[in-house]
């Protein structure tokens, strides 16, 4: 935890099952990690994808999962989603993460590249049962960048087995609410959606908008938590 000065993390451990790391690094790769099932990884520095080092055609997201065939739980913390968004992100991974049932993502909902990477992840986890989406408050404090990314309606049946969702740190911005609306309309087995905003500003409007969203699941319960 909290390390600096590492250029490349190369994880070569055939018996490793659990991996939890957070710090400042340039790159990460996994080799001989077929038994690795639980991963929590955080990059503690923002990445500017306009930098020359970030301009590459190969997808960091695809390479990250190549040697993780049996991953069951993944936590993408801090700015690591920005790292995974580098390169040409496909619509879904070449090999789906069929064992992955829990996914936690720290995301800037107004960042198109991060949204594309998040969607690739969601599309590649057909058996996902629990999802946590954490908005980065420092990003939400900046001027909102308009995006209609989650308004598209051609991603139906994406959450076939999703049962529990938690969305935290939101401020009620359009991109955030579009994602929640999209989630509720494409999760037929959803049992509980918990929403926790970043502050009390505009909380009543946020609650009223949540109540208006159509739900694909007749069992879905929406729980609103105080900031």
Q: Spell out the residues 6+ positions from residue 202 whose beta carbon is closer than 8 angstroms to its own.
A: 171, 172
All structural domains of the chain with their residue ranges: 3-224
Cα distance between residue 45 and residue 187, in whole Å: 33
Cα distance between residue 99 and residue 114, in whole Å: 23
Q: What are phi and psi of 211, to 5 degrees?
A: -65, -25
Dmax (CA) for the chain in angstroms is 51
Helical segments of the chain, H only:
60-65, 80-84, 112-123, 137-140, 174-185, 203-212
**What are the mean pLDDT values of the chain's consecutive 10-residue runs (227 residues total)?**
92 96 95 96 85 67 95 97 96 95 96 94 96 80 63 69 96 91 93 92 83 91 88
Find tokens 């599309």 and name the residue: 123
Residue pair 60/86 in contact (Cβ under 8 Å)? The answer is yes
Q: Which residues of 127-157 are buried (b: 16+ CB within 10 A; e: fewer)?
A: ebbbbbbbbbeebbeeeeeebebbeeeeeee
pLDDT of residue 55: 55
pTM here is 0.91
pLDDT, tens digit (0-9, with 9 covering 90-100), for 60-108: 999 999 999 999 999 999 999 999 999 999 999 999 999 999 999 999 9
Q: Strand, coil or helix: what is 183?
A: helix
- Other beta carbons within 10 angstroms of residue 163's beta carbon come to 18
Cα distance between residue 159 and residue 217, in whole Å: 11
Q: Spell out the residues 6+ positions from residue 29 whose beta carbon is closer than 8 angstroms to its own.
A: 8, 9, 10, 11, 63, 64
Fold of 3-224: 3.80.10
pLDDT of residue 24: 95
């Amino acid at each position: 935890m909290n390390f600096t000065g590492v250029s490349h993390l190369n994880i070569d451990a055939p018996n490793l099952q659990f991996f939890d790391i957070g710090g400042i690094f340039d790159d990460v790769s996994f080799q001989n990690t077929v038994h690795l099932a639980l991963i929590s990884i955080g990059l503690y520095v923002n990445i500017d994808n306009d930098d020359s080092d970030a301009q590459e055609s190969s997808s960091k997201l695809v390479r990250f999962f190549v040697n993780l065939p049996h991953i069951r739980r993944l936590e993408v913390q801090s700015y690591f989603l920005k790292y995974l968004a580098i390169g040409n992100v496909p619509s879904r991974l070449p090999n789906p993460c069929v064992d992955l049932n829990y996914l936690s993502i720290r995301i800037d909902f107004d960042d198109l590249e991060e949204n594309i990477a998040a969607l690739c992840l969601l599309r590649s986890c057909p058996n996902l049962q629990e999802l946590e989406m954490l908005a980065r408050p420092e990003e939400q404090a900046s001027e909102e960048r308009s995006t209609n990314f989650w308004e598209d309606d051609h991603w139906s049946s994406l959450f076939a087995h999703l049962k529990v969702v938690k969305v935290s740190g939101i401020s009620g911005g359009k991109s955030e609410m579009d994602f929640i609306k999209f989630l509720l309309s494409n999760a037929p087995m959803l049992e509980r959606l918990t929403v926790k905003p970043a502050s009390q500003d505009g909380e009543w409007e946020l609650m009223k908008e949540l109540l208006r969203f159509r739900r694909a699941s007749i069992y879905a319960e929406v729980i609103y938590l105080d900031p």
